[in-house]
């Protein structure tokens, strides 16, 4: 049972870790993924990856208006 719990926590942790990649628009998923993979383990790197993903979405909405 302990192994199952560790596996569940690992999957949840990876899902949280890659949130910036999930929310990034299709044109920027690759660059956000690379940043998230290599420096996302730091809080600053994860925040930058999330900011790039969200910021790009805001710019796309402003261009479509």
Q: What is the pLDDT of residues 36-58, one digit of tens each?
A: 999 988 999 999 999 999 986 45
Domain limits, the chain: 2-63
pTM of the predicted model as reported, rounded to 2 decimal places: 0.74
HEC states along 3-46? Answer: HHHHHHHHHHHHHHHCHHHHHCCCCCHHHHHHHHHHHCCCHHHH
User: What integer pLDDT is reported at residue 27 of this predicted model?
Assistant: 87
Long-range CB pairs of 43-49, under 8 A, 24+ apart, other chains included: 46/17, 46/20, 49/20, 49/21
pLDDT greater at residue 10 or residue 65: 10
Q: Please give the Cα distance from 56 to 59 (Å, whole number).
A: 5
- The per-residue pLDDT for range 1-36, each reduced to its tens digit, is 799 999 999 999 999 999 999 999 988 999 999 999
Name which residue leads in pLDDT, 60 or 30.
30
């Amino acid at each position: 049972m302990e192994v199952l719990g560790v596996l569940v926590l690992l999957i949840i942790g990876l899902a949280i870790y890659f949130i910036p990649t999930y929310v990034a628009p299709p044109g920027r998923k690759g660059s956000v993924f690379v940043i998230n993979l290599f420096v996302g383990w730091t809080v600053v790197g994860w925040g930058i990856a999330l900011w790039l993903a969200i910021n790009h979405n805001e710019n796309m909405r402003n261009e479509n208006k």
